[in-house]
Each structure stands twice: as structure tokens, then as C-alpha cells.
Amino acid sequence: MSTEKQQQAILKRLESLAKHNDPINQSLYAKYDVKRGLRNANGTGVLVGLTRIGDVVGYEIKDGEKIAVPGRLIYRGYDVVDIIKDAETNKQFGYEQVVYLLLFGLLPSKKQLEDFSSFLGECRILPPNFTEDMIMKAPSPDIMNKIARGILASYSYDPDPENRSVANIIRQCIYLIARLPSIAAYGYQAKRRYYDDKSMYIHNPKPELSSAENFLRLIRSDKNYTRLEAETLDLALILHAEHGGGNNSSLTVHVVSSADTDTYSAMAAAVGSLKGRRHGGANIRVVEMMDDIKANVKDWTNENEISAYIRKIAEKQAFDHSGLVYGMGHAVYTISDPRQVLLKQKAKELAKAKGCLEEFNLYDIIERVAPGIIQDVHQSDKKVCANVDFYSGFVYTMLNIPRELYTPIFAISRIAGWSAHRIEEVVSGGRIYRPAYKNISEERPFIPLKDRN
């Protein structure tokens, strides 16, 4: 048996082989007109499907030219701004209504919403021994991996997991939507106990509470939260619930579902996508960048000093030397991200209540100066705006939510959209996704084993 040192040497050689054989000359992508990232040369997405679920509006095409417009987010034909205003007017938590709308395509009546919210509440309790056997016995340092495992484990507790009927898929999705906050919260508690050597608190969800209220209750030792805190988290859940079929995790649901697999496999795959730092993990990078800015900018009110440091970040001279100003820019939105606009309004209200206005004003200044600096450094006329990640991490920080749970909150919300996309794929898809990859390697004569060096 080889020693650990010998194994490391073997892996080092294998790594060298992999790196040597896999690189592709970048010029070949242009030669063969490869749509890298499934994007056209003008930045628009390659059209691979149709959807009735959501729309992300950031530009219009006029006479073949891409024209930037203020961003809009549409759920089942309704502007998310109107959905949020209505919930605020009626002093309701709105996420449950959004779940109903995304799944069934209709705005619920008051009675329908009450019945659906009640049903969701009844579904929140995890199966017997699930917490002990599937969460506590195999803690994970990363909660997204714990969520994926919890989703896959749910297959074993389902009396009819392979049934692909729409009725059964809806049942499975509703249970996952209801239970994901508990799976994430308990996964975090297990992580606290086994990796951080801190106390672990396991509280039961309450059926009569909203998703936002239950999550805050589950992660806090005293189970207490304010109405404003719950409203703020509810807003974040609404804004993250859906973002069209082209975002990476929703596309993953379509791709995996098109292979005719079970609901749990499709949802776990989406979680794996969302975990990525280029997708759902971006808000953590914003908070880390802000930590660096706050440590290096002495006067948080001095726009010149702030601008100078942002320029250093953009020029790869500060923070992580990537040249990225995190929280700035989006694949679709250029003038404004409607999610960021709405979340910023709530962030200011929460900052006043929490005594964090000085920090909020720092964010506000960076939001104003960063786009121009980015354009100047990169000598580009492409418009850039702050995206939802710019303020979401700040909001979660004010809510005293641990950073390990920032991306899981995204998953807790987005599973509503994923569920709608899975149902849509099963009902209307009908073909397995199979795009083309061009092989650019030359055929070689085979060398028998005895003749190889």
C-alpha cells in the first residue's frame, strides 16, 4: 500500500497530465463560432427554450441593436414591484403568494392563499428521525452541500419517489419548499456544533408562521425576531424566488429534468449550481470586499477617498487582485437591477432601525461611483449597475444571519422557481437537452500496450 506522500506524488503527476492535455486554443472558439456560456457575441443569451414562468428584462432589441432599458422582473406576467406593493398594503408576508403564483400561474384569492399557506405550514415538519439520521450524523462545513444531501435523502422518505405524474411532482415540490428552511437551519446548527465548537439549538418550525419568520426563529437561540426583520427577509425571498429559465441553476433543472429523472435529483443538481461563486455565492464576496474597504478607507463619507480605493480594486491592486468590484454588473441588467432597487429601500429602513446608517451611506456612495470607475479602468462604454448581491449581504448582516447561510437563503427562495421550471419541463419539454460540442483533437493510430513507453 502506498504512503500518503507517495499518493500525493501520484496525484501531482496526474494533475500535470490533465493540465497538459485539456487546454484549448482560445482562438478556436471564434473560428468555430462557439456560443461560449450559451451567449451570442452581443451578450444576449442563446435561445434554447420557451417559458411562461418568469422574465428578466434589461434590454430591448430594435432593428437588430441591443438597447438598454431600466430592469424589470416579471413573475407569470406580473411585475414583481406590484406583487410586493400589494403584500405591503395588506400587511402580509408575500413569499407564500409568490410560491402559489409560480407553481400554478395564478394569483390566489384570499381564501386560496390562506389554505395554501396553511398547507405549507403543515408540511414544514421533517420526517421522523430525519434530523438525527440525515443531518446530525453527517455534518458539513458547507451548508449548501448539506442542503443537497438533505434533498437527496428526502427521496428515501418519499412513499412514491419515482412517480413522474404532475400531481406527484407538485406534492414533492411543495414538501421541499416547506422543508428547505428547516434543513438549512439544522444543517447550520450541526455545523456550529461539530466544526465551530459552539452551542447547537434545534427548534421546531411553527405551521402558522411564514417562511421568513420560521427561518429567523430556527437560527436564533432565543427564537425571537422583529416584524421589520421578518418583512426584510420575506422581501429577499420574494426577489430571489425566480429569475427566468436562463440562469444557471434554473437551466440545470431543465437539463436534468429533460433526462426524465426524479424530482430530488433535479433539485439537488440545482443546489450544486447555485453554490457556485459565479452564481449564488456572489453576495459573500461583496461582504468580504466591503470588509476590506472598511478596513482601508478611513473616512467613510469622503467620496474621493472611497473612489480612489475602488479604483485600486478595479486595477487589481487591492482586495483579491481579481479586478472585480463585486456586486457590480449583471448579464442582463445594465441600467438598473429591480431587485437591488427594492432591496436597497428596505435596507435603508432596516439600517435606521439597527443604527447602521453610516455603513448604508458607504454602500450608497460605492454604488454611485463604482460604475464610472469600472468603465474608465476597462476603457469600456458598457453600462454597469449594482446588482441584488450588492445589498443582500449587507441586509443579512444586519439581520445577524451568519455568512454560511447567505447562499442557502438563496436556495430556500429559488426552489420555488426551480419547482415551477421542473413542472414546465415535464409538461412541455419532451426532449432531452443535447447541444453540440466539436471535437478538435486529431485521430491517432492506436499503440498496443507492449509498445508504449
φ, ψ at 155 (rounded to 5°):
-55, -40
pLDDT at 57: 96
pLDDT at 420: 98
| Predicted structure pTM score | 0.94
Give the residue among 394, 65, 49, 392 at the shortest CA–CA distance from 240.
Answer: 392
d(CA 390, CA 369): 14
What's the mean pLDDT in 275-293?
93
Q: What is the pLDDT of residues 68-90, one digit of tens each?
A: 999 999 999 999 999 999 999 99
What's the mean pLDDT in 88-116?
97
d(CA 433, CA 414): 22
What's the mean pLDDT in 42-67?
90
φ, ψ at 62 (rounded to 5°):
-125, 120
Within the chain, how many helices (H) and strands (E) appear?
18, 3
How crowded is residue 34: how many other Cβ atoms within 10 Å of its Cβ? 13
Partners of 73 in the β-ladder:
56
Is 22's pLDDT higher than 80? no
To the nearest whole number, what is the mean pLDDT of the chain? Answer: 96
Given a contact cutoff of 8 angstroms between Cβ atoms, the answer to whether 212 and 233 are in contact is yes
Which amino acid is present at 374? I
Given a contact cutoff of 8 angstroms between Cβ atoms, the answer to whether 120 and 180 are in contact is no
Is 195's pLDDT higher than 90? yes
What's the mean pLDDT in 24-36?
92
The Cα-based distances of 153 to 127, 133, 149, 224 in angstroms read 11, 10, 6, 30
% of residues, the chain, pLDDT over 70: 100
pLDDT at 65: 84
Contacts of 217 (CB under 8 A, 6+ apart): 203, 205, 206, 209, 223, 225
Torsion sign, CA atoms 133, 118, 175, 239: negative
Helices 211-219/406-424 angle, 10° precision: 140
Q: How confident is the model at residue 17 (pLDDT cuts 50, 70, 90)?
A: confident
pLDDT at 41: 85
Q: What is the pLDDT of residues 157-188, one digit of tens each?
A: 999 999 999 999 999 999 999 999 999 999 99
